[in-house]
Structure 1
């Protein structure tokens, strides 16, 4: 049996695969630094977003973070249980004082992760990441 398309395809050129590996590598670095705070990368992103923008709905959060609704719900559930986020004014979601206190404690470790990644990427690598994100955001609703 012949598989000409399979034979002719080089998966190492797959942009999705490359982006996934980039995501796994950077996530691993951040996890290492924020692990003591009991937060996942997604939860930290959510708390940062909620600290900067009050009263967002779940749909708005999904749109801003390009996060699946099921992923958002799973992470919000954990943040609600720990009193880091509140749905008291549902459908608006807000960060709590406890969430802000946690971020305040975690930011130095987050900065360490940022510094580690920046030292690996250098200025041109970080600019390339920014450029890729900007270009991809232009094509998504």
Structure 2
């Protein structure tokens, strides 16, 4: 067991940076980066979302999300459409993004496969389980803190 949490968090941070670096290299031929891929992937998996929903899902602040959305719009991969409630704008994948998505996904899956080959299947399953449990716990803590802040106001 680690004698301090600094080592654990440093290792998680370093792993995250390495995974992001490898993903950026895999997406470079397509003119995309990890942050853009995350938005495209979430929209493909979940359908149209508002910018706020994307921010919440990806745990990204509004300013960097705005920049990412603007870049993707400039590339022709997403567009914004007004919803039934005229105050809401939904972000959609364009037909251009839909047609390019399989190429991007193939590159990402190939990069992921290279990165994970050194881990036995049992370790992959264990890491997934631990990370999922940790993430759920963090989200519950954040929700509790937000609810307490609202209650105390």
Query: In which range does the TM-score fall when normalised by the shorter chain?
Result: 0.7 to 0.9
- Counterpart of 2:131 in structure 1 is 129
* Shift of residue 11, structure 1, vs aligned partner: 8.8
| 1:22-64 Cα distance to aligned partner (Å, 9 max, x none) | 2111101111211111111010010011112223111111111
Alignment of 1:22-101 (within 5 A): 22-89=15-82, 91-101=89-99
Name the Cα RMSD after superposition: 2.2
Higher relative contact order (CA 8 A, sep 6+): 1
TM-score normalised to structure 2 length = 0.74
* Shift of residue 120, structure 1, vs aligned partner: 3.5
Looking at structure 2, the residues matched to 31 and 39 of structure 1 have their Cα atoms a distance apart, in angstroms, of: 7
Give the 3-state SS of the residue equivalent to 1:59 in structure 2: helix
- Counterpart of 1:108 in structure 2 is 106
- Counterpart of 1:119 in structure 2 is 117
Where does the alignment leave 5 or more consecutive residues of structure 2 unmatched?
83-87, 144-153
Normalized per residue, which structure has more strand? 2
Where does the alignment leave 5 or more consecutive residues of structure 1 unmatched?
1-9
C-alpha distance 62-138 of structure 1, shift in aligned 2 (>3 A): same
Structure 1 stretches of 4+ moved >4 Å: none
C-alpha distance 130-117 of structure 1, shift in aligned 2 (>3 A): farther
Looking at structure 1, the residues matched to 97 and 74 of structure 2 have their Cα atoms a distance apart, in angstroms, of: 11
C-alpha distance 83-107 of structure 1, shift in aligned 2 (>3 A): same
TM-score normalised to structure 1 length = 0.80
Aligned pair count?
132
Judge which range, 121-130 or 72-81, deviates more.
121-130
